[in-house]
């Protein structure tokens, strides 16, 4: 087993960042699995298609789910909506590795989803387990 970290900067409150190539560049096993884990409770890790319309639709969909409300957590740091969005998404994904690369489907990519940006040095941990 090996562990690596990648660091990301976001530029907007909501931003979807394709991290597929960053992860592929860090893979140090030929075959196995990698767990991709965001160490932040206002972000997510997702697998899906990297198509602009779909990525825009995700933002609209999440915003529609979380209409303005008097969230109790907003009394602390005014980002309850970001935390709630993270609750329904996922903080991690586990993906197979084959031939030293992510073994994704034809249209699949891995994304870091920023829900409370802009932020600097967002940390994503990669845990590799080889066969």
Q: What is the pLDDT of residue 116?
A: 96
**Which domain, by its residues, includes 91?**
2-65+79-130
Q: Per-residue pLDDT tens for 51-64?
A: 999 999 999 999 99
Q: Is pLDDT of 67 > 80?
A: no
**71 within domain boundaries:** no
What is the rounded average pLDDT for all residues in the chain? 95
Is 110 within a domain? yes
Which residue has tokens 């660091």? 7
104 contacts 95 by C-beta, under 8 angstroms:
yes
Residue 35 maps to a domain? yes
Domains held by the chain: number: 1
Distance CA 8, CA 109 (A): 16
Residue 66 has pLDDT above 90, yes or no: no
The CATH number for 100's domain is 2.60.120.460
The pLDDT score that the predictor gives to residue 79 is 80
CA-to-CA dists, residue 109 to 22, 83, 90, angstroms: 11, 23, 15
- pTM here? 0.93
Q: Is residue 74 part of a domain?
A: no
62/27 Cα distance (integer angstroms): 32
Whether residue 33 is contained in a domain is answered as: yes
Strands (DSSP E) found in 19-121: 31-38, 43-49, 92-98, 101-102, 108-114
Task: Report yes or no on 73 lying in a domain.
Answer: no
pLDDT at 74: 61
């Amino acid at each position: 087993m090996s562990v690596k970290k990648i660091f990301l900067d976001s530029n907007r409150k909501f931003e979807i960042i394709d991290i597929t190539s960053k992860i592929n560049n860090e893979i140090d096993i030929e075959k196995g699995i990698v767990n991709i884990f965001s160490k932040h409770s206002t972000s997510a890790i997702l697998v899906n298609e990297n198509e602009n319309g779909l990525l825009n639709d995700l933002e609209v969909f999440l915003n529609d789910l979380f209409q303005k409300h008097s969230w109790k957590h907003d009394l602390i740091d005014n980002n309850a909506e970001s935390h709630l969005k993270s609750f329904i998404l996922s903080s991690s994904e586990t993906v197979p590795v084959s031939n030293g690369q992510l073994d994704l489907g034809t249209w699949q990519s891995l994304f870091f989803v920023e829900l409370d940006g802009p932020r600097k040095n967002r940390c994503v941990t990669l845990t590799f387990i080889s066969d």
